[in-house]
Amino acid sequence: MKKKILVIIAIIFIIVALCIASYFYNLKSDENLKTLSSDASFYLQSGKLYVKKELDNKYYQVPGDFSQMSMADYQEENYKSNSKVTGGIYFYYRLDDKIYLVRTEDFENWKTKELTAGAVGIPANAKIKYIRISGAFGYIFYLDQEGKGNILKTTSSGEYWTKIALPSELNDSCTLKFLNQSGMTVDGYLTIPSADGSKCDLYAIDDFSEETLKKIDVSALIGENSSEYDYYHMPTEFFTSVTSPQYGHLLLEVGKDKDDADTQRFITPTSSNNWITERQYYQDEADKQDSEDVIISNFNNSVDALDEKYFVKDPENYSVDSVEIKISESKAKEIAEQGFKESASRIAGEGIDDTAEENIRIDEVYPNNYFTRKYREYDDIYNTHKRKCYVVTKANDMGNGVSVYVDVTTGLIIGGYAFGD
């Protein structure tokens, strides 16, 4: 009987395995299969669209009829399938002279929105140049049948769209682009070259402003002959080196024409658009490093200069056999004041002036390096031996404060901790 059951289970397992294998073989080998994306995220097969989920590397079928979709519809910028990107998956397709936007964040709840309907509907024969959805905000840049450009904006994750006010007429030579594609912060920019290509303006996207497009102007930083320079180059993510990337900054190159190799370079933190010259940036970085070197040196020198009359400078190896209480409570408070001063001046900014709450108790605690750790060293608790200590605590009216450990036998400070925000 057991053998029959095992045989039946084995047969069922083989059948299921063959079905799965056959499905994926057909998906890969069908002559109608079209790989829409260079990263193989989108597959089209017999009017059915499959999208790969990055987290489990599996393909999921998208609800809908994609029989009219073709390679001509696919543009890399407008098909996002990386689930790590804020906004999840979004793309558009055409069906029966209508344009539809599809989006999902979880591969289960798909939403389809017709873009050719409504007061701000996109013309059915429009050319969509760019789509970006990130959280609640999103943008669509398209050209109508006459080649005139418009930009739609959503603040509802693609559910509702409105046209934004444009500073000048847009055409096919204009470029809309967002940087930091994989992060929460997005930095969008629009270049608007003139019809003859003699000049170019650059605008930054401001999600939260009614005036969505803000013109970038660094002419005051260029100085003499600033009128000769223009914004042909889209900002790019800035890295100081390959091995040590400086994330969170953008680089802008301004030239005299779009092919100019002799450019002026400017740098800004992302989302600020407060540009400074590249030279000023590196000078500021050098000054910051010098200042940090001084801070590190002063911090470490303060650790070395701890008064051994009050502090144990090697708490990891601190060991006392006796647990006799030789220090009075009032004396412990007096000693702890040295710890509060040290914490306030060098470590937590809390301690000496915190008077909203003060208390003292005796407890067994492990020594730690709260007072003796050097700059950027990790916190360490030396749990090989406990000591009976006065735990003297001060807190301010915001609930932030410091506790200092004073050994009941030796009267030495063997650690402490800060708490609160």
What is the average per-residue pLDDT within 60-72? 74
8-state DSSP, 311:
B
Q: Label residue 311 by pLDDT band (50, 70, 90).
A: very high
Terminal-residue alpha carbon distance, the chain: 68
Query: Worst-scoring range by mean pLDDT, 36-45, 154-163, 193-202, 216-225?
Result: 36-45
Residue 415 reports pLDDT greater than 50: yes
pLDDT at 249 over 90: no
Sequence spans of domains, the chain: 27-164, 305-419
- Model confidence at 31: pLDDT above 50: no
Q: Which two tokens stand for residue 181?
A: 């594609």
Is the pLDDT at 411 greater than 90? The verdict is: yes
Distance CA 122, CA 286 (A): 51
Give me the residues paired with residue 163 across strands: 152
> pLDDT (tens digit, 9 = 90+) per residue, 79-103?
555 445 555 778 887 778 888 888 8
CA atoms of 44 and 27, how far apart (whole Å): 9
Q: Where residue 18 falls among pLDDT bands split at 50, 70, 90?
A: low
Output 336 or 56, whichever has higher pLDDT: 336
Tens digits of residue pLDDT in 262-307: 788 888 877 678 899 888 888 888 888 888 889 899 999 999 999 9
Q: What is the pLDDT of residues 316-326, one digit of tens each?
A: 999 898 999 99
CB 184 within 8 A of CB 86: yes
Mean pLDDT across the chain, nearest whole number?
81
What angle is formed at CA 75 by the lines to CA 70 and CA 76, rounded to 5 degrees? Answer: 130
Distance, in Å, from the CA atom of 390 to the CA atom of 332, rounded to the nearest integer, reads 7
pLDDT at 246 over 50: no
- pLDDT per position as a tens digit, 321-368: 899 999 999 999 999 999 999 999 888 877 677 777 899 999 999 999
What average pLDDT does this structure show over 133-139? 85
Whether 25 has a pLDDT exceeding 50, the answer reads: no
Q: In Å, how far are 326, 335, 407, 415 from 391, measured between CA atoms? A: 15, 11, 9, 10
| Structure confidence at residue 102 (pLDDT) | 87
Percent of all residues in the chain with a pLDDT value above 70, rounded to a whole number: 81
* CA distance linking residue 85 with residue 55, whole number of Å: 12
Q: Check whether 224 has a pLDDT greater than 80.
A: no
pLDDT of residue 30: 37
Which residues fall within 8 angstroms of residue 303, CB to CB, at 6 or more apart?
Answer: 371, 372, 373, 374
User: DSSP string spanning 127-140?
Assistant: EEEEEEEETTEEEE
Tell me, what's the pLDDT at 86?
52
Whether the pLDDT of residue 27 is over 70: the answer is no
